[in-house]
Amino acid sequence: MKTFIHLSIVLWSIGFLTSSFGDERVPNIILIMTDDVGYSDIGCYGGEINTPNLDALAQGGVRFTQFYNTARCCPTRASLLTGLYAHQAGIGHMVDDRSDKVGQAYAGELSKHAVTIAEALKSANYATFMVGKWHVTSKTKPKNHSDLVNWPLQRGFDRFYGTIHGAGSFFDPNTLVRDNTFISPRADAEYQPKEFYYTDAINDHAARYITEHKQQYPDKPFFMYMAHTAAHWPMHAKEADIAKYKGRYDSGYDAIRAARLVKMKQLGLLDPRWQVSPQAGDWNAVKNKAWESRCMEVYAAMLDCMDQGVGRLVDTLKKNDQFDNTLILYLQDNGGCAEGSGRNKSFVPRADAPTLAPLANDFLQPDMIPKQTRDGFPVRQGDGVMPGGEDTYIGYGRSWANVSNTPFREYKHWQHEGGISTPLIAHWPKGIASQRRGKLEAQPCHLIDLMSTCVDLAGAKYPAEFAGQKIQSMEGISLAPALAGQLLQRSQPIFWEHEGNRAIRTGNWKLVSKHPSGWELYDLATDRTEMHDLAAKQSERVKEMSAQWDAWASRVGVMLWPLDGGKTTKN
């Protein structure tokens, strides 16, 4: 009976959405995800970074204020693609195979008992495209056709341009692939821009695929998954974009964070009851302020460039008369990244001229961190190496990550709000009523809900079996009612686990643990910044919620951390 009631509400919501505009065609769907970006970085969530195109989508759509990811690259992508918790999808940690020791939840490959959104939408006659970062398979150097089983084209996508691996140079990315074939940026006969920059390449191919699809199949809907690597380390950007932010961050962490807090209050994103967590960095103690400022300037430039591409995508949709009936969803894979990639290594000076032999045009970059540029300059890391250029490889650091995650605690990896909170912008002129546009939506939602939403709005059929395999049931719920301003009917709590970091949210209550510490309890209605632990005062609630978490963990295959004493993948 509960399932029937939920289905009725969803169908009613869809009817409301479509009949309001007299157009019952299913929508095109575009999922845009950025990488290692904090909750407050983009303009419409409080940031000073120039993101006018995302801001416009937010103004014309709905902004979810309590949407959640999994706090890490691979698990987020697995969960987003399958509508399952990452452990059920086979990627309980990263893309390292530990299945022989701890089971299929840690196989490091998408499970054959899961379908992707692309596979599911095929039942509704959708064309399916993907551009950008895949990162849900360990087979980045396939030796035979069977190694491609979890590559995009083998998991439901008609066309793919992007990288199989999780990180790399923006000027010379490793594992760059078109469909099933590795390509070198300089030897790619289909795409030769004046300057190759991966973010532009992702955006350009997205627009191209949409235009070509419109020309060939004008009445066939499409699903597009755009997985940007911006703003994951290394801090690489084009000089013209970096120049926009010169001097912008010279005032330091506290000043930028304070300005964000003011803007977030104005936008209705910061409840005055929440005590803001302290800044995790002392600008006065920074010895090389010019270098530290430059790191954030480049980070901002990376997101600026990404947003420019969103603008080109919107222009393409409008030119093709597709904009009004396209649902665009924007989100982020985890919070800001506190990893110190390249920041603490020995400084390597740049020579006045190349010191290494140039690379051949058809050379395929094998390394996540290139040893040299295409023109022969060594790639440099270390305190004092000004980031941005292709001969550098540096992250922006813990203190700027704290600014990115304003007003929350912790970072990528952890299950406190700073690690798992992401914006979600939903824009769909034909499907979101005018009175809902520009509104904030505060109902808690999770990546597992995106599959359900896409299947629901596409009129697709989620399979019980696929390719001869039994398929696990979807874990999430459709967000269609929320788009219409209705209550979601979620019957289960939302759960998290990554590297022993655990959490469960039911209603406004969140139980969370940072490995190897014990449980903390927070009332997120009054304390979403997680500053006042109520675990000692509400031991019965802790007991009840921890038991729910244990039952979920057992069901999806969570194992104790560390799994086998192996190294943690850092990408």
SS (H, E, C) 35-68: CCCCCCCCHHHCCCCCCHHHHHHHHCCEEEEEEE
Q: What is the dihedral of CA 176, 179, 185, 186, to 10 degrees?
A: 140
- Calculate the alpha carbon distances from 476 to 8, 117, 165, 231 in Å: 16, 13, 27, 28
Q: How far apart (Å, rounded) are the C-alpha atoms in residues 91 and 246?
A: 40
Residue 368's nearest CA partner among 519, 570, 536 is 570
Select, from the ranges 19-23, 322-326, 352-356, the one with the highest average predicted confidence (pLDDT): 322-326
* Residue 479, token pair as written in the block: 């967000």
Q: Does residue 180 form part of some domain?
A: yes
pLDDT category of residue 354 using cuts at 50, 70 and 90: confident
* Per-residue 3-state assignment (H helix, E strand, C coil) for 339-353: CCCCCCCCCCCCCCC
Nearest to 83 by CA among 569, 546, 367, 455: 455
How confident is the model over 149-183, as pLDDT tens digits? 999 999 999 999 999 999 999 999 999 999 999 99
Segment 252-258 mean pLDDT? 97
In this model, does residue 23 exceed pLDDT 60?
Answer: no
Per-residue three-class SS string for 466-515: ECCEECCCCCCCCCHHHHCCCCCCCCCCEEEEECCEEEEEECCEEEEECC
Q: What number is the average pLDDT over the span 409-424?
A: 98
Pairwise CA distance, residues 498 & 68, whole Å: 14
Phi (first) and psi of residue 448, to 5 degrees: -60, -20
Whether 392 maps to a domain, the answer reads yes
- Cβ density class 200-215: b for 16+ within 10 Å, e for less: bbbbbbbbbbbeebbe
Structure-model confidence comparison of residues 279 and 320, the more confident one: 320
Residue 541 lies in a domain: no
Q: Is the pLDDT at 450 greater than 60, yes or no? A: yes
Average pLDDT on 423-446 reads 98
**Among residues of the chain, what percentage have pLDDT more than 90?**
91
- Average pLDDT, rounded, for the chain: 94
User: Is 296 contained in some domain?
Assistant: yes
Domain that holds residue 226: 2-492
Say how many domains are in the chain.
Answer: 1
- List beta partners, residue 29: 223, 327
Q: Is the pLDDT of residue 9 over 50?
A: no
Residue 224 is predicted with a pLDDT of 98
Q: Tens digit of pLDDT for each residue in 530-550?
A: 999 999 999 999 999 999 999
CATH number of the domain that residue 24 is part of:
3.40.720.10
Q: What is the pLDDT of residue 414?
A: 98
In which band, very low, low, confident or very high, does the pLDDT at 355 lie, cut at 50, 70 and 90? confident
Question: Which pLDDT score is estimated for 565?
Answer: 53
Q: Read off the pLDDT band of 19 (50, 70, 90).
A: very low
Model pLDDT, residue 25? 86
Q: What is the reported pLDDT for 279? A: 86
Res 350: pLDDT: 75
pLDDT exceeds 80 at position 564: no
pLDDT score for 566: 42
Output the pLDDT for position 24: 66
pLDDT of 148: 97
Report yes or no on 408 lying in a domain. yes
Closest to 67 in 3D by CA, of 39, 28, 26, 101: 39
Instruction: Decide if 484 is inside a domain.
Output: yes
In a domain, 256, yes or no: yes
Question: Would you say residue 389 lies in a domain?
Answer: yes
Helix (H, G, I), strand (E, B), or coil: what is residue 315? helix
Work out the percent of the chain whose per-residue pLDDT is above 70: 94
Locate all alpha helices (DSSP H) within 183-252, ordered by sequence. 198-216, 239-243
